[in-house]
Amino acid sequence: MNYRHAFHAGNHTEVFKHSALVHLLDRLLAKPKPFMVLDTHAGLGLYDLDSSEAVRTGEAAAGIGAVFDRLGGEAASYASLVRPYLSEGRYPGSPTIVADRLRLDDRLVACELHPEDVIILRRNFARTGTVAVHHRDGYEAMTALVPPPERRGLVFIDPPFESRDEPDRLGSRLAAAIRKWPTGIYVGWYPVKDPTTRPRILAQLERDWVPSCLWAEFYRFPPDGLRLAGSGLVVVNAPWKFDETLRSLGTDLIEAFGDEGGAIAVQWAKAPD
């Protein structure tokens, strides 16, 4: 599938991953020392929900548009953050969500390879001193830009999944970055459509002896191999009890979306001894 952000901004997968992202930022903000966030596939940063791309798919209307007034519990902080944008008919992508949470001494490095999208991304953050926009391959940046001087932070990997080898590439580049910066928090996103996606990502991590990681999948619908049933996150160096947070978040989102076969699965995956 091709998951270019403009077509899917605000859909059910975005609600899940961006709610989880807000929780990770809150964990980093709980300590006074500054941190860096590397957003490897940043997209535009901000999306017009009346654009031809958004209207063509209708995914935002069935996603954030359908549940915003019912979001609570573990999704409440995310709802508060997106509220002012939704009131203007826009949806904030991950760079905007991160930038809105940063303190003056924290940093965001947002990477985007698409030549047209990066122009818009730069325009959106032209006056934001805590954000640096790079026109570069996010997978390459994962090893080039870590470890950061702050020695604290998060690498958020949200690729478009437009090539068949995307799960393998995500897993291998994730493992390579971890070798360079073993203490960073890493989050890799993937769509839940092909049942082989998660095993392929984890296989790369196991091959490179990543000690352990957390994975979570939120299903909006039961997977049928045809539609985008949900999405998953692979989290390396997850904060304490983050698995419990993700389970609670998934439960809250299932309730908000209503009973259509939604589910949440959270599990620790460990490399063999």
Q: Which residues are catalytic?
A: 158
User: CB–CB of 107/31 below 8 Å?
Assistant: no
Which amino acid is it at 84? P
Which amino acid is it at 223? P
- Concatenating the DSSP letter of every residue in 187-247 gives EEEEEESSTTHHHHHHHHHHHTT--EEEEEEEESS---SSS--EEEEEEESPPTTHHHHHH
Q: Which residues contact 61 (CB under 8 A, 6 or more apart)?
A: none
* Residue ranges of E strands in 83-220: 90-92, 107-111, 131-134, 153-157, 185-192, 212-219
**Number of neighbours of residue 271 by Cβ within 10 angstroms:** 14
φ/ψ of 254, rounded to 5, equals -60, -45
> Could you report how far apart the first and last alpha carbons of the chain are, in Å?
35
φ/ψ of 26, rounded to 5, equals -60, -35
**Number of neighbours of residue 209 by Cβ within 10 angstroms:** 11
**52: which 2 tokens?**
């031809």
